[in-house]
Amino acid sequence: MATPSQRVFTASLPEYYERALVGPLFRPFAEVLLHRLAVLSGDRLLDVACGTGIVARLAQQQLADTGRVVGLDASPNMLAVATRVAPMIEWREGNAATLPFSDAEFDVVTCHQGLQFFSERAAAAKEMRRVLARGGRLAVAVWRGLEAVPLMNASHRVAERHLGPVVDQRHAFGNPAALSALLAEAGFQRVAVEAVTRTIRINDAAAFAHMNTMAIVGMSPAAKAMPEEQRAEVSATIANESLDTWQPFVDGSDLVFELGTNIATAHV
């Protein structure tokens, strides 16, 4: 029988993301995101880069039948999982830089751990501003810098020993001033950014090490130039060495660590 860590490589990644990561890693911050917005009865909410849909699902629970909830993502595989989990929500495939919606179509826009991956961040921010109605509210969450997340920083240092410099896009908005400036330049008003930290418990440390290594290797120019077999060997080495460096965070088979995000709120 395959171990949980082996199943990372055989199961659908969106399925693994939903089953193993959404609850412990993404839901706590999604709850904060919606709390900061104070979602109101009748609100029309768009979640950009929705993934498998945790923000949209929580918003749907709050709004019930009084409003509209739409989740948009560029990945049809993520949307397939979102549709299976919550078929009552409107899921749309699309590009954040060219949102397929009319001007002022929404009262609330959220983006949870997506903005840092966009190739056209300024365009995406302007699009989120465009689709918001007068008085509309925005909330964006992006992970804090690597230096603020010791566990992730440790695995990043391991990876760079084998791959050379790697720019981890997941932590590209560690500087809150950069996030604030981007939103202000897009035309948002009353932009505020706060750091929020939560204690995270991941049930399978080995599986998470492999998943995290896959993400880092996927962002490495050196790894992309390697033959597939060499890349797999290096990935396994990085994952195993990461587990060694994570021993201070291990509780049984679980990982327990502090994770921080920068949450920006803004208005139209």
Question: Measured between alpha carbons, how far is 18 from 196 in angstroms, rounded to an integer?
Answer: 22
- For the chain, the C-alpha Rg in angstroms (whole number) is 19
Kindly list the domain boundaries of the chain, sorted by start residue.
4-267
CATH code given to domain 4-267:
3.40.50.150
Q: Residue with structure tokens 């418990």?
A: 201
Question: Measured between alpha carbons, how far is 29 from 22 in angstroms, rounded to an integer?
Answer: 10
Number of alpha helices (DSSP H) and beta strands (DSSP E) in the chain: 11, 8
Residue range 141-182, pLDDT digits in tens: 999 999 999 999 999 999 999 999 999 999 999 999 999 999
Question: Measured between alpha carbons, how far is 3 from 206 in angstroms, rounded to an integer?
Answer: 10
pLDDT at 12 over 90: no
pTM value is: 0.92
Per cent of the chain over pLDDT 70 is 96
Neighbours of 217 (CB within 10 A): 22
Q: How far is CA 50 from CA 95, 141, 266, in A?
A: 12, 12, 19
Residue range 87-113, pLDDT digits in tens: 999 999 999 999 999 999 999 999 999
